[in-house]
Amino acid sequence: MFKRSDQDTRRPLQIFVDGTAVEAREGDTVSAALLASGRDARRATAVSGAPRLPYCMMGVCFDCLVTIDGVGNRQGCLVPVAEGMQIEIQKGKREIGR
């Protein structure tokens, strides 16, 4: 869907998506890194389980909701990636306690 520009010389760093190592760049948001990875990053909605990907990328639509380092319902488009970050694609509602 998206590719990186050859001009991008930002430092690569490693995040984990559902346990698999994925390369991101310093300064990416979680959502941008997921979309750039080419992986299937579709979440499932809390209401009907419909598949969704980020829609607005600016903190408005909440279609980027994702579990980051064990905390559910984070807006992936507002959180910058960090080395070793653990991302889980959220399927359905946030679970109690995470």
Partner 1 sequence: MRATPKRDNYDIVVIGAGPAGLAATVFAAEAGLSALLLDENPGPGGQVWRAISSTPVAEREQLGADYWAGADLVQAVRSSGAEIIHRATVWSLDRNLEVGVSVGGASAFINARRVVLATGALERPFPIPGWTLPGVMTAGAAQTMLKSSGLVPDGRTVIAGQGPLLWLLAAQILRLGGRIDRILDTTERRNHIAALPHAFAFMTSPYFAKGLAMMREVRAKVRVVTGVNELSAEGDGQLATVTYAAGDRRETIPAGLLLLHQGVVPNVNLAMAAGVEHRWDDRQLCWSPVVDDKGNTSVEGIAIAGDGAGIAGMEAAVFRGRIAARAAVQALAPEEAAKLAPMAMLRTNLARAERGRAFLDTLFRPARQFRIPKGDTIVCRCEEVTANDILDAVAIGATGPNQLKAYRRTGMGPCQGRLCGLTVTELMAEARGKSPQEIGYYRLRAPVKPITLSELAAVAKTEADVNAVVRG
Nearer residue to partner 1 within complex by CB, 58 or 84? 58
Q: Tell me: does residue 28 bind partner 1 (CB under 8 A).
A: yes
Q: Tell me: does residue 67 bind partner 1 (CB under 8 A).
A: no
Nearer residue to partner 1 within complex by CB, 63 or 85? 63
Pick the piece of the chain touching partner 1 (CB under 8 A) from 4-12, 13-21, 85-93.
Answer: 4-12
CA distances from 21 to 15, 16, 36, 45, 94 (A): 6, 4, 14, 25, 23
Token pair belonging to 41: 């990053």
Q: Are 30 and 81 in contact (CB under 8 A)?
A: yes
